[in-house]
Structure 1
Amino acid sequence: MFREMRRKKQLLSPEDTIAVMDRCTNGVLACLGDEEYPYSVPLSYVYFNDKIYFHSAKAGHKIEAITKYPKVSFTVIDKDTVVGNEYTTYFRSVIAFGKS
């Protein structure tokens, strides 16, 4: 259903993925917004019992967008260390796909 990860060596194990979700507290929700423009919004979350719970008001752009187009993705960045002398970045993130 979804594309395979291109850089498979970077793929986190299920245990590491859960650890990232448990450790972090914020991420970016991406959905389809007004006039079908992409809309992404940073927000706080809790990962509990294999579900992601978002902090949210009961109304607004985000609620309208996910009500109209319930397919979303949510990205959590756990590590982003730039190592200039190596011309690289040590980066770890989790992307979850789902329906609201």
Structure 2
Amino acid sequence: MRRKDRELSQNEAYEIIDNCQYGVISCINDDEIFSVPISIVRKEDKIYIHGAKGGNKAKLFKDGKDVELVCVIDVKVPEFSNECVKQMIQDNKAANVFTTQYKSAIAKTKAYLINDDETKIKALRLLSEKYTPKYMDAFDAAITQSLKITNVYELKIISVSAKAKILKG
């Protein structure tokens, strides 16, 4: 990481992954880059995602395929008073007006298709509890209706890094 002053710990990287609304996963597909935003959930050193039985994910995310996950949270463009902006101009720091605050994490993973129904259901339950906790009464019925048409993938975390730009004041 070039900016060591922005580097975060592994635990902070996991917090970013756990708190992001969605992640973007990417991998190589026939010499092209395939990327897609997706709902994710992490348990220990595994990230779970799901999708249809067909399509690029079904084709790519198996057999230990290298997949990278990017998560970003707490994105904010700062607001400055007119006086503050004028002072930055006088201090030759006008470029500091054009910045963004954020926290980001990148996980290098290996993707595996989950074939075991019990493990698939556990992963889908984790996803559902993260994104739709107030509808968990419908979970069992939804599993009955859709488990056979849903793929679930485990992204085994190999390494993780994170950084943040936090503005002071």
Q: Same fold per TM (> 0.5)?
A: yes
Q: Give structure 2 stretches of 5+ with no counterpart.
A: 81-96, 112-169
TM-superposed deviation, 1:24 = 2.1
Q: 1:87 to 1:32 in 2, by over 3 A?
A: same
What amino acid is aligned across from residue 38 of structure 1 in structure 2? I
TM-score (norm 2): 0.51
Check the 8 A contact 1:32/1:66 in 2, yes or no: no
Which of structures 1 and 2 has the bigger CA Rg? 2
1:7 aligns with 2:3: yes
Amino acid at match of 1:90: Q
2:98 alignment counterpart: 87
Report the 3-state secondary structure (helix = DSSP H, G, I; strand = E; otherwise coil) of the residue aligned with 2:40: strand
Separation in structure 1 between the aligned mates of residue 4 and residue 25 of structure 2, nearest angstrom: 24
Percent identity of paired positions between Structure 1 and Structure 2: 35
Partner of 2:16: 20
Aligned to 2:86: none
1:42 paired with 2:37, answer yes
Which whole-Å CA distance do the structure 1 matches of 2:64 and 2:31 have between them? 9
Distance 1:49 1:69, change over 3 A: closer
Q: In structure 2, give the amino acid aligned to 1:26.
A: Y
Higher strand proportion: 1
Question: For residues 49 and 68 of structure 1, what CA distance do their matches in structure 2 show?
Answer: 20
Number of residue pairs matched by the alignment: 95
Query: Is the helix fraction higher in 1 or 2?
Result: 2
> Relative to structure 2, which stretch is displaced further, 37-46 or 53-62?
53-62
TM-score computed with the length of structure 1 as normaliser: 0.81
- Establish whether residue 99 from structure 1 lines up as the match of residue 110 from structure 2: yes
- Which residue type is aligned with residue 52 of structure 1? I
Matching residue's letter, 2:99: T
**Conserved in 2, the CA contact under 8 Å of 1:25 and 1:46?**
no
Which blocks of at least 5 consecutive residues in structure 1 are unaligned? none
d(CA) in 1 for partners of 2:36, 2:105: 16
